[in-house]
Amino acid sequence: MPFAHLAWRRILAPRAQAPVVSFRTAPRCRHACDIAAATSGGALRGERKAAAMSISAIIGMQWGDEGKAKVVDFFASEADIVVRFQGGANAGHTVKVGEREFIFHLVPSGMIYEDTLCAIGNGCVIDPGQLFEELDSLNAQGIDWQGRLLISERAHVVFPYHKALDELREAAAGASGIGTTKRGIGPAYADKVSRVGLRMADLLSDELGPLLQRSLDEKNAVIENVYGGKPIRFKEVYETYRAYGERLKPMLCDVGLELQRADAQGKHILFEGAQGTMLDIDHGTYPFVTSSNTLGPNMFAGAGFCRPGFVGDQLSIVGIVKAYTTRVGAGPLPTELHDEVGEAIRDKGREFGATTGRSRRCGWLDAAQVRYAARLSAATEVFLTKIDVLTGLEEIRVGVGYRGVAAGSFPSCLRELDDLDVQYESFPGWSDEITECRRFEELPVNARRFIEALDELLGLPVRNISVGPKRSQTIVR
Ligand code: GDP
Ligand code: IMO
Ligand code: MG
């Protein structure tokens, strides 16, 4: 279905009323800027110039919560369209604008820029109730999202039985549970790969009733007979989701096709990763992972779009690396701190989940792990976040390798991870607050040395440094 009623010109034209938040204040994004500079000499015009526009992705290099949304917000000032391509409402993406805080779960963080279009790709699983709750809350905060959200007809739907199963399985597993967000993510993706899931387009189909009935019968049998839970009633779910379908109808489209058209027009597309590379279903710390592929290259499959014949500098995959490591939920965390340093980092970094409110486990930055993630996600540069949280520590440690494990590799078995012998390098800390620093040279010498060492240890240039949650608290190096 062509998305004719959402013509780019109209969407991207500035609106008459003043913006709700201060838009377009972030410095021009480095990669977009580089491409623009490369094409501004007059040699490339029209379609050729358009074809050289960069595509960027923001990908977490750890176990999630690296500060991806702050970075999306930083770069989104130069993006025409921001796309989520995997995950669901398990994500908790926080953007701080002035004193206001926005938490996104399913909606791309670019939504707070009033002339930016947002898309949720086929690789996502969508809980429509959660989505509308989020959209209503954005409305209440003065963000007009109408006409700016595209949703893939192929994205799978999260139903109440997915959430019920997620909760029941976790409860039954007790202490050996994964510690999921209980947003129904695993069961929804399981239905997708089992080829029994319902997709957004099904909400509008005459077949919705029979499809839902079939799925519900099967799920209720498990809910009742395996877990002793309460069955879910068809009528209520059917009516609610039929109504969601009607509400969603104007947003449903072939997202991949829209992205391809946008790309042909020279629009800048920004992909917003959710979770982190170490939570990837294939390459993360299985089974303590989420149920989607969180890796950078999955953006193309999860959005249904890829430009043929990419050349290197047209694609930037920005690896978001927190200056320490956190993890929420169960599973291996090789550099975890179980002492007062870990607690101090948690308190200062306000390391409490944006989706579930759970406290995050904290540890030292693990360069060996980040190198593994950067390789898998094809990261081209690092955006270092939350380095301000380390201020005041006398000594800062970084995991630099695992005894007996090849560089660039990460153990695949939980047993091996249990016995992992992490080798550390130690750096002297700094005591002056750095949240007001805006240039690399303004940072204390030990902070600069730490970052310079990371260029080497992570194997990628640290191009940007975040020294606080706000857009302005960013150093371009
Ligand atoms: P995401 O899931 O990767 O988008 O990250 P979250 O939003 O879950 O968690 C990151 C938290 O750190 C949020 O509360 C951000 O506002 C905050 N944050 C982001 N960057 C910085 C930073 O450089 N310094 C500090 N102190 N906080 C930051
Ligand atoms: P953002 O996008 C941190 C974790 C859960 C759990 C595991 C599986 O904010 O970085 P799930 O509900 O996905 O089946 O849970 O994955 N998890 C996250 N941890 N940040 C996230 O998202 C996460 N999304 C899921 O805590 O350990
Ligand atoms: Mg988060």
Express each pLDDT in 141-200 by its tens digit: 999 999 999 999 999 999 999 999 999 999 999 999 999 999 999 999 999 999 999 999
pTM score, whole prediction = 0.90
pLDDT in tens, 18-49: 223 322 333 333 322 222 332 232 222 233 33
Span from the CA of 23 to the centroid of ligand 1 (angstroms): 19
Handedness of CA 368, 91, 226, 203 (dihedral sign): negative
Which of left, alpha, beta for 179 (phi over 0: left; psi -120 to 50: alpha)?
A: left
> Mutate which of 73, 279, 292, 293 to test ligand 2's pocket (most atoms within 8 Å of Cβ)?
279
Q: What is the pLDDT of residue 7?
A: 34
Write the single-letter amino acid at 168.
L
Q: What is the CA radius of gyration of the chain?
A: 22
Q: Counting beta carbons within 10 angstroms of the beta carbon of residue 406, is it exposed (0 to 12), middle (13 to 18) or buried (19 or more)?
A: exposed
Told to judge if 93 belongs to the known catalytic residues of this protein, a careful annotator would answer yes
Told to judge if 31 belongs to the known catalytic residues of this protein, a careful annotator would answer no
Whole-angstrom distance, CA of residue 477 vs CA of residue 468: 16
Residue 359 pLDDT more than 70? yes
Band of residue 53 on the pLDDT scale cut at 50, 70, 90:
low
> Mutate which of 106, 120, 181 to test ligand 2's pocket (most atoms within 8 Å of Cβ)?
181
> How high is the mean pLDDT of the chain?
89
Q: Say yes or no: CB of residue 466 within 6 Å of ligand 1.
A: yes
Span from the CA of 311 to the centroid of ligand 3 (angstroms): 31
Ligand number, closest to the Cα atom of 58: 1
Phi, psi at 366, each rounded to 5°: -115, 95
**C-beta neighbour count of 201 within 10 angstroms:** 17
Q: Say yes or no: CB of residue 128 within 6 Å of ligand 1.
A: no
Domains of the chain are 156-248 (1.10.300.10), 321-476 (3.90.170.10)
Q: Which of 73, 80, 93, 280 is catalytic?
A: 93
Q: Say yes or no: CB of residue 70 within 6 Å of ligand 1.
A: yes
Q: Say yes or no: CB of residue 290 within 6 Å of ligand 2.
A: yes
Span from the CA of 95 to the centroid of ligand 1 (angstroms): 8
Q: Specify whether the CB–CB gap between 110 and 118 falls below 8 A.
A: yes
